[in-house]
Copies of this chain bind each other. A is one copy, B any other.
Amino acid sequence: MPKSIIRTYSRYSRDAVALLGALIREARNERKLTAQELADRAGISRGLLQRIEKGNLKCEIGVVFEVATIIGIKLFDTDENALTKHLGRTKEKLALLPKSVRKKSIPVHDDF
């Protein structure tokens, strides 16, 4: 990440990450697990779990999802296996779509 990149995030994105972190903390408390215990189960440091629960935007998505999964939070869908099914359907659809997007060289006469 060269030359000090400044990132901006929409409110929606910030809320989404914050929500996920709050859900994790809530679930952890309900299950009576300490931060250290959950961190150990996820194979991460307690400090990182702190940042995740706080809704830090710079955490690796894989780690955040893994913690959520371990603590029992269903991502995207509530019913079982819905995610996998959805993934399958999406991949099938992708195979039928154009492999690349191409701009029209000349502005088309979009008449009608």
- Copies of this chain, complex-wide, total 2
A19 and B87 in contact, given A33-B101, A34-B103, A101-B32 (Cβ under 8 angstroms): yes
From A29, A34, A61, residue with most partner B Cβ within 10 Å: A61
A7 to B45: give the CA distance in the assembly, Å.
12
Question: Which chain B residue shows the least CB distance to A64?
Answer: B61
The reply to whether A12 and B83 contact each other, CB–CB distance below 8 Å, is yes
Pick the residue among B9, B60, B103 that contacts A66 (CB under 8 A). B9
The reply to whether B16 and A83 contact each other, CB–CB distance below 8 Å, is yes
A33 to B19: give the CA distance in the assembly, Å.
29
Question: Is A13 an interface residue, CB under 8 A from the partner?
Answer: yes
Question: Is A109 an interface residue, CB under 8 A from the partner?
Answer: no
10 contacts between A and B (CB under 8 A): A12-B65, A12-B69, A12-B83, A13-B66, A22-B94, A57-B61, A57-B65, A59-B60, A61-B61, A75-B76
